Structure 1
């Protein structure tokens, strides 16, 4: 299963903090959002929901019957989980890896735009703006996970 939600990038230490904030026993989404808002600087339920989904993608949180809980043994390598389980990450990373020169986020978007499914394009009128932001976030998370590097010239392998 691939997850589409990609929150604004933060340091990896935030992933650990957010994971530890969630209960060990399954709890409702509302309760988990409340815990994230109380114990971190997340200030809205929508952002808290994004983080729960992202933590699931990274293998840190599990879901059962609509309730969420932190895994007793979280995934060791979140970078691998990110690459394998977050939608479009592989395509974005391959684009950067195959380029002989550093690429700006806009250049990466232009190179992957043909890979964006038609249903995503039809879903909203501002799909390009949404996907520009999504690609930027994927690139920044990839930098955070040391999958690629960022310099003044752009993103590169």
Structure 2
């Protein structure tokens, strides 16, 4: 199963490690884990914490047990994050395929990625959010930022800035 949440990418894997360390070693229910994430990582709200918890689970850095969520005994290495993105995050295979087709003269932008995956956005997301297109364009920008963080994507002309909707990407060295 691939998960939808894609939080803002961190500046580096050390920051991702800090998010992982905010997940308890002793299993806790979702509310407890979200409260702990909010407190330790200064997250703005429960939904952001919940998104991080789901995303860490998708990357294999947190696990859901019968007693709740727990920190996985795994380091957030570039290889592990790449594998987690490929296997656990919705629309990553499509993004990687589009990156393979991109070139410096015609890089993949978040708007391009959204256009290529628009039909794959779950129907319930479209129904519950009247501004779903903007939300999924933002998600595409964040997703490309995560791919750049682990060298699956490379920004064209500059550093990856997930807020830059027009920033273009090509395949990274690890793709």
| TM-score range relative to shorter protein | 0.7 to 0.9
Asked if 1:40 corresponds to 2:41, the answer is: yes
Structure 1 runs (4+) deviating above 3 angstroms are 73-76, 114-124
2:130 is the counterpart of 1:125: yes
What is the Cα deviation at residue 58 of structure 1? 0.5
Which of 131, 143, 149 is residue 138 of structure 1 equivalent to?
Answer: 143
Q: Is the Cα contact below 8 Å between 1:7 and 1:51 reproduced in 2?
A: yes
Quote the offset at 1:137 in angstroms. Answer: 1.1
Aligned to 2:168: 154
Distance 1:7 1:123 in 2: 20
TM-score scaled by length of structure 2: 0.79
In 1, Cα distance between equivalents of 2:20 and 2:82: 16
Q: CA RMSD in A?
A: 2.0
Q: 1:115 to 1:31 in 2, by over 3 A?
A: closer
Aligned to 1:69, what secondary structure does the other structure show? strand
How many residues align? The count is 157
Q: Secondary structure at the match of 2:64?
A: strand
Contact 1:24 1:72 in 2 (8 A): no
Instruction: Give the C-alpha shift of residue 116 in structure 1.
Output: 3.3
Q: Which residue of 1 aligns with 2:98?
A: 95
Return 5+ residue gaps in structure 2 as ranges. Answer: 158-166
Mark the runs of 5 or more structure 1 residues left unpaired by the alignment. Answer: none
Answer 1 or 2: higher relative contact order, Cα 8 Å, separation at least 6.
1
For 1:22 and 1:64, how far apart are their aligned partners in 2?
13
